[in-house]
Amino acid sequence: MTDPEVIPVPDPTVLLLTVEEGARRLRIGRTTMYALIGSGAIETVPVGRLRRIPVEAIAEYVHRLRQAHRSATAA
């Protein structure tokens, strides 16, 4: 039995994530992830008929959130 609080270590060789994997990395729900994708906040790329999230897009999104927070608290 697995502990639900244990967060698996991401595979460093993975370049593209499914929506579910991206949501899990951000610790948000799937619906919220789809909203972020729909608004353009998180980039996706087409792979055939599928959409995938580049790993860097997750890091870039978090970076933008941090910058926005710093700007808001500095003002």
**pLDDT of the residue at 3:** 61
- How many domains does the structure of the chain reveal? 1
pTM of the model: 0.80
Is the pLDDT score of 47 beyond 80? yes
What average pLDDT score do residues 40-47 get?
A: 97
Q: How sure is the predictor about 41, in pLDDT bands with cuts at 50, 70 and 90?
A: very high
Domain that holds residue 39: 16-74
Position with higher pLDDT, 13 vs 25: 25
Using CA atoms, how far residue 38 sits from 7, 34, 49, in Å, is 26, 6, 17
What's the pLDDT tens digit per position in 17-36? 999 999 999 999 999 999 99
In angstroms, rounded to a whole number, what is the distance separating the alpha carbons of residues 51 and 17?
9
Is 56 contained in some domain?
A: yes
